[in-house]
């Protein structure tokens, strides 16, 4: 490892040049300047793994379909004193 580090130290310009060329080539390949780009090949897919997330997702989708875009959801928070938040109090152990 010491030998590798000393070689890099002695040839710093070569190392920086190689990194620069590698980054430029990767950027050109990703944007599609050279061949097909990365981003047109990407696509979204809906993962269908069984579990609670599917039930929740289906419930949320059903709710938004009935209510249209921008549907509302209700979040129930227990154990919070709204008056303490207005007074600027912090819970025990807070920053």
Look at residue 93 and tell me if it is in a domain: no
* Whole-number Å distance between alpha carbons of 84 and 92: 12
Look at residue 12 and tell me if it is in a domain: yes
Look at residue 16 and tell me if it is in a domain: yes
* Whole-number Å distance between alpha carbons of 32 and 26: 10
| Per-residue pLDDT tens digits of the chain, which is 95 residues long | 788 889 889 999 999 999 999 999 888 888 877 777 777 777 766 666 777 777 777 777 765 444 455 556 677 878 777 777 667 666 665 55
pLDDT at 77: 78
78 half-sphere exposure, CB direction, 13 A CA radius: 0
Look at residue 66 and tell me if it is in a domain: no
Look at residue 8 and tell me if it is in a domain: yes
pLDDT at 57: 72
* Whole-number Å distance between alpha carbons of 30 and 48: 29
- On the 0-12 / 13-18 / 19+ scale of CB atoms within 10 A, 37 is middle
For the entire predicted model, the pTM comes to 0.40
pLDDT at 93: 57
Range of the domain at 34: 1-40
pLDDT at 88: 66
User: How many structural domains comprise the chain?
Assistant: 1
pLDDT at 19: 96
* Whole-number Å distance between alpha carbons of 44 and 22: 28
- CA distances to 8, 22, 65 from 18, in Å: 12, 6, 53
Look at residue 31 and tell me if it is in a domain: yes
Look at residue 77 and tell me if it is in a domain: no
Look at residue 67 and tell me if it is in a domain: no
pLDDT at 66: 47
């Amino acid at each position: 490892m010491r030998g590798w580090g000393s070689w890099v130290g002695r040839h710093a310009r070569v190392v920086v040049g190689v990194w620069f060329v590698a980054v430029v080539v990767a950027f050109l390949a990703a944007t599609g300047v050279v061949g097909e780009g990365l981003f047109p090949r990407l696509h979204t897919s809906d993962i269908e793994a069984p579990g609670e997330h599917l039930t929740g997702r289906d419930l949320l989708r059903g709710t938004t379909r009935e209510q249209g875009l921008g549907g509302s959801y209700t979040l129930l928070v227990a154990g919070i004193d709204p008056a303490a938040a207005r007074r600027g109090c912090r819970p025990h152990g807070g920053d």
